[in-house]
Amino acid sequence: MKIFSEDNKLIISQGLSRVVIECWGPNSIRVRMTPVPEMDCNDWALSEKVPEVIPNIYSKTIDVTDPWYKGEEYARYHQSATEYYLENGKITVHVTYEGWIRFLNDKGEVLTEEYWRNRNRINRYCVPLRVDARELKCKQGSTDYELTARFESYDDEKIFGMGQYQDHHLDKKGQTLELAHRNSQASVPFFISSHGYGFLWNNPAIGSATFGLNVTEWKALSTKKMDYFITAGDTPAMIMEQYTLATGRSPMMPEYGLGYWQCKLRYRTQDELLNVARKHKRRGLPMDAIVIDFFHWTRQGDFKFEKRDWPDPKAMVDELKSLGIETVVSVWPTIDEKSENFSEMAEKGYLVTSDRGNSNHMTWMGNTIFYDATNPDAQKFVWEKCRENYYSYGIRCFWLDEAEPEYGPYDFDNYRYFAGPAISCSNIYPVGYAKGFYEGLKSSGEQDVMSLVRCAWAGSQKFGVLTWSGDIYSSFRSMREQLQAGLSMAMAGIPWWTSDIGGFLGGVITDENFRELLARWFAWGCFCPVFRMHGERSPWYEREEEFIDGVRQLTSGQDNEVWSFGDEMYEILKSFLFVRENLRSYIRDCMRRTSIDGTPIMRPMFYDFYDDEEAVRSEDQYMFGPSLLVAPVMEAHVNTRTLYLPKNSTWTDAKTGKVYEGGQHITVDAPINVIPVMIRDNANIKVYN
């Protein structure tokens, strides 16, 4: 093995294998390993041009002694060796003479280090387990490798981020996470550690991440290289700024993103949609966007309105614009084998293929295949169809559903993309899906771009992605899980996030228990990056099956407008529509900062109060921007809420005006029409009317 510096990089070379360590922006390092002569050229999430940094690279000569030898034999086995260091601001890479890698902060403290369990001369563990920190094992019959990378585990370390998983734990320490997308699961493999660093697993392959008590372990089932990014900083905000410098930042949120979005499963006709919008405005209620959900089309993959139920889309969009409402339209990546576009897309290689078995990927409401969002030409083809059939009518915001994509089943080893086998790159699918629409809208002259997308990966944020948490159940448990999902997405660098208020599945609008849940969720949704109502709302209408020209039409769930749940609920939901309006300028300022330095508006207490141990432990409350502490009620039949106020600040109850000193737990009243919100340090923010 040979270790040397070259072109401002450190190289660990052994046979054909090479590890390349280099600066990747301020206080940041990229580490890549290849088992073959040529490094795979994909940058994946690290797509942004970062400032060039010239590191300080130096070496030290150390004494090496085998601890197995003592006494007179010491001199015989005593020798010297060279170790290397690469300094980049607040992070230093230390490479031992045996090629092991450690990362130190600017105080000389260990941030993290590789996990080795091999007998050697200076390993303080000195155990013969033959467990390496870096393994690229050839997959027989393939040019790819199975990758495992291991790092030490620390008992006092907390892990925040990693995207969206359906559990209630904000701290990911002790968890094993699948690195794969599913409906309601978005793998975004970046986290911020309480030890003062951020880490990106820059690999879109299917795999897993384990934050164990004994080892931190990353796996990729099929790949050509190891690739990760690590950045150090004094605060979580500094770490996030450096991470988003390398992977991209969200643009400025469009103005309609700041207000209320009305949605249901589903508005079946143009008249039904317009009547809801008109009624909303007649009542004097704010609404910024209304969503046209799926199956407004003739067939999946036609990417256009069905003419009988949507006879004049341009007139509809024009009227909505006159009411101050943006039209959002659903697009699915599923292409029906009977679609007018199927043959051309198949001929040109724009569809995902299967290595074995039936090529259909989904058989719901038609036999369909997903289009290949990793293919740039396929991206352009789909955008051109949507430009012709939606954008030309004035529609500027698209709901990109099924973005995982939602395979049935999720046999990742069976699908193949333009970018390669799905098992090696499937997690970039939602990035390409959003990228096609972002670039299409920008090329059409749009300035502020936003797409509602059901999945994301590292770097998705730069394409104006608003992620929502998928088809979740209507329950308080689910609501609690969505809180950590949204906070974890924020800490993974995806700041625009929302959930289906009230849950998507199972909510019965006449059920008093569901109405209580909806009131609590609606209040919390008011303090999310985007405030959006949605849900199928059981039971579905009992209609006879409908067909248009032999094509079966989808029916719809129950009503889902703010007046649909009884007079008491209407007054509560109405009040929070105006709370959101009160917050509009505050949210706008927060979103502007997000676009400048990556700071998410919705973030865990750790982000702002990383030096307050009690705040860091708080997982059921969060900060909404720098000045509002929000503590949602996420239990049934309760009317009080206990929360923690971080120290070194004063806190004012937004409802009562009562002032509290920080550094204490308090219990406040939380009737059904109140969500506890505390204003930090007398910030001039009006919440309640």
Q: Which amino acid is at 305?
A: F
The catalytically annotated residue of 132, 471, 511, 619 is: 471
**Do the Cβ atoms of 341 and 335 come closer than 8 Å?**
yes
Active site residue 401: yes
**Do the Cβ atoms of 435 and 379 come closer than 8 Å?**
yes
Indicate the burial class of 689 (C-beta count within 10 angstroms; 0-12, 13-18, 19 or more).
Answer: exposed
Looking at residue 662, what DSSP letter applies?
S
CA distance 168 to 472: 14
Paired tokens of 580: 């959101």
Helix ranges, 2-141 (H): 74-77
User: 254: closest CA among 530, 524, 443?
Assistant: 530
- Give how far the C-alpha of residue 148 lies from the chain's centroid of Cα atoms, to the nearest Å: 23
The catalytically annotated residue of 144, 241, 401, 500 is: 401
CA distance 606 to 386: 42
Helix ranges, 511-660 (H): 512-525, 567-582, 584-597, 605-608, 613-617
Looking at residue 73, what DSSP letter applies?
G
Contacts of 247 (CB under 8 A, 6+ apart): 45, 46, 47, 48, 190, 200, 458, 459, 461, 462, 493
The catalytically annotated residue of 306, 309, 326, 404 is: 404
CA distance 197 to 160: 11
CA distance 466 to 129: 46
**Do the Cβ atoms of 290 and 273 come closer than 8 Å?**
yes
- Give how far the C-alpha of residue 228 lies from the chain's centroid of Cα atoms, to the nearest Å: 18
What is the DSSP pairing of strand 216-223 with strand 226-232?
Answer: unpaired
Paired tokens of 391: 């954008």
CA distance 207 to 228: 14
Helix ranges, 367-474 (H): 376-389, 422-425, 429-443
CA distance 201 to 147: 12
DSSP notation for 175-242: -EEEES-BTTBEEEEEEEETTTEEEEE---SSEEEEE-SS-EEEEEEEES-EEEEEEE-SSHHHHHHH
DSSP notation for 117-176: B---SS-SS-----B-SEEEEE-TTSS-EEEEEEE---TT--EEEEEE-SSS-SS-TT-E
Which phi and psi angles does 149 have, rounded to 5°? -125, 130
Q: Compute the CA torsion angle 515, 517, 519, 520 (nearest 10 deg).
A: 170
**Do the Cβ atoms of 198 and 178 come closer than 8 Å?**
no
**Do the Cβ atoms of 508 and 538 come closer than 8 Å?**
yes
User: 523: closest CA among 597, 590, 573, 589?
Assistant: 573
User: 566: closest CA among 510, 503, 501?
Assistant: 510
Q: Radius of gyration of the chain from Cα atoms?
A: 27
**Do the Cβ atoms of 217 and 150 come closer than 8 Å?**
yes
Looking at residue 569, what DSSP letter applies?
H
CA distance 641 to 627: 19
Residues marked as catalytic: 401, 404, 471
